[in-house]
Chain A
Amino acid sequence: MASLAARRAKDTTVKVISTAFAVLAIFLLGWILWTLLSRGLPALGLNVFTEVTKPPGQQGGLLNAIVGSLIQIGIAMVIGGPIGIFCGTFLAENGKGTKIGAAARFVNDILLSAPSILVGLFIYTLLVVPFGGFSGWAGSLALAILVIPVIVRTTEDMLNLVPVGLREAAFALGAPQWKVVMFITWRAARAGIVTGILLAIARAAGETAPLLFTSLGNNALSTDLSKPMASLPIAIYQFAGSPFDDWVSLAWAGALLITVGVLVLNVASRLFLARSH
């Protein structure tokens, strides 16, 4: 065995390197944020929120993309939220110990990390091709499929933290399961479930690949869900790859908006959960 001095020196070296790695990770986050702020902030005028996309050379904005994103995320949450919460509840309550429960939990874990682009292709072959075109509906459904696993996972984890005694007390009073779930377990795990929903919104807001094949994008302001619909990530993708400087700076403005929104949702959900426990 090496001498004590040598072992101590090795220990110190590894500690210094590990600390440096942690600093590097924070530096990278800071670098990304700095890039977004320094390039996005100058482009972030009022026009970004009030005007729609215009041809290069004219001052345009991202109104159509912001509206489109909000609509699609909203519908995705209206569809995916209840399914996710119910499935998470199923896994924590009725499905516990059953084969179907175990299989659904396995599938959900796979869906959580599966490539999101494939969900886009799935909706494309399922809806876009048979119904003759890209649409806001298709985009919303693709996002719904992506938010479900996030909500299922957090809901299940949070319901598992609710003491069994609480459920038993309610059942002992003769409450049917729907009452126990809705008024006891959901209520006790409320903060956790809300956290899951916030994280799901954050995920849906940044997803780009699945929307390429579903809602496609739209340079005009449109709220018609049966037509192609704009979204912030797709607008960023189009503009960032364009040769026009004003479009590229608009892309940075959009990127700043999305990132700040997503990070705020993430931090808020963590704080919310920490405070309620």
Chain B
Amino acid sequence: MDATVESMGSGSVQPITKAKATGRISDPIFVALLWASGIFVLALLGLIIAELFQGGLPALQHFGLDFIWSSAWNPVTENFGALVMIYGTLFSAIIAVVVALPLSFGIAFFLTEIAPPPLKRPIGVAVQLLAAVPSIIYGMWGFFVIVPLMAVYVQPPLIDTIGNLPIIGALFAGPPLGSGMFTAGLILAVMILPFITAMFVETLESVPPMLKESAYGIGATTFEVYKNVSVPYGKTAMVGAIMLGLGRALGETMAVTFVIGNATRMSASLFAPGATIASTIANEFPEAAIGSLKLTSLLQLGFILFVISFIVLALSRALVRSRLD
């Protein structure tokens, strides 16, 4: 800061007329550049939506709105529908949130209330690094390490026990392939865990100490303060954090493509192979020729994914950041 003030002094005191002169010419340009880049980012989203919509329009015209509700995906007869992928996208993302949520609550509790101060930062950073690992690395780890483990050690015992129960058994039915919805959901859970945890921690740290101290003052335990004071205080932002995790899980591509099994049919079982919108686009794109009905169907799928993500992410942001605007 000292250096800044100094250079300011030596730079502009003497040639102040010059500064004025150059300011008159370049300031409008500079300010215009600032506005232009702001408006560019603003327009970018609209452009992406418009481009995807236009690209997918032929599929919509061909199939009508039935495209959304049709469970067909047959490249041979050129009959395409989005239902299986929408189902897979939501199913795998919901598994991810259900698994990541208790973990995030626990880790946030650990980081804000339990961790000794010297350990807090390194552990927090380590959790954050899980978010830095690229999607494709999760895919390889999932495909080569987790899928075999699931197929041998996790799924067979579950299928043999819970799989035989009435009603709930349907969730655990089918052969132990290792890959499938459940594995995809687990990998996604690890990927969204750092995002949810970081926002939880940020929210919990903004709880006024006075509130917590009052609760401690009447004899509440650490967990009781967390559960009855901190979490209710940050509830809105924490729901926003969960939505952000959901939004991230919906569009994750590479990790899911490796482990979900890529079957374009619907099954109630957690262990059945499936497909998400993103994995279908990544998988089927190489076989879709320019101008084909398949390509436009894939673009239409992309548009649907954009709409779903947009709604979830906008909701998340409204809950988390509304106070900033």
Interface residues in chain A, defined as those with a beta carbon under 8 Å from any beta carbon in chain B: 7-8, 10-11, 14-15, 17-22, 24-26, 28-29, 31-32, 35-36, 39, 82-83, 86-87, 89-91, 93-95, 100-111, 113-119, 121-122, 125-126, 129, 145, 148-149, 152, 166, 169-170, 173-179, 181, 183-184, 187-188, 202, 205-209, 212-213, 233, 236-237, 240, 251-252, 255, 258-259, 262-263, 266-267, 270
Contact = CB atoms under 8 A, between A and B. Distances in A.
B181 interface: no
6 contacts: A87-B40, A100-B42, A106-B325, A114-B48, A115-B252, A176-B23
A178 B27 contact: yes
Nearest to A98: B38
Interface string B197-227: 1000000000000000000000001111000
Given A86-B37, A104-B39, A208 B134 contact: yes
Interface stretch (B63-71, B125-133, B152-160, B172-180): B125-133
A22 B282 contact: no
Given A104-B42, A266-B129, A114 B12 contact: no
B7 to A, nearest CB: 7
A166 B3 CA distance: 12
Contacts, number: 293
Interface string B92-126: 00000000001100110111001100000001011
Contacts of A176: 19-20, 22-24, 26-27, 30
Interface of B: 1, 4-5, 7-8, 11-13, 16, 19-20, 22-24, 26-27, 29-31, 33-42, 44-45, 47-48, 51-52, 54-55, 102-103, 106-107, 109-111, 114-115, 123, 125-130, 132-141, 143-145, 190, 193, 197, 221-224, 244, 247-248, 250-254, 258, 278, 281-282, 285, 290, 298-299, 302, 305-306, 309-310, 313-314, 317, 321, 324-325
Nearest to B123: A22
A22 B48 CA distance: 38
Nearest to A89: B34
A197 to B, nearest CB: 15
Q: Which of B24, B35, B55, B247 has the most CB of A within 10 A?
A: B35
B305 A35 contact: no
Contacts of B314: 106, 110
Given A113-B244, A212-B282, A202 B251 contact: no
Contacts of B39: 100, 104
Given A117-B251, A176-B19, A122 B48 contact: yes
A175 B140 contact: no
B243 to A, nearest CB: 10
Contacts of A11: 221-224
Contacts of A122: 47-48, 51-52
A262 B253 contact: no
Nearest to A28: B190
A90 B253 CA distance: 32
B54 A118 contact: no
B37 A87 contact: yes
A204 B185 CA distance: 24
Nearest to B318: A106
Nearest to A126: B51
Contacts of B41: 83, 87, 104, 107-108, 111, 148-149, 152
A100 B145 CA distance: 48
Contact of B251 (A7, A39, A115): A115
Contact of B48 (A89, A113, A119, A262): A119
B136 A237 contact: yes
A40 to B, nearest CB: 10
Contacts of B129: 29, 263, 266-267
A134 B115 CA distance: 50
A20 B106 CA distance: 8
A262 B134 contact: yes
Contact of B45 (A28, A35, A110): A110
Contacts of B197: 25
Given A90-B35, A208-B254, A25 B107 contact: yes
Contacts of B144: 35, 39, 240
B222 A15 contact: yes
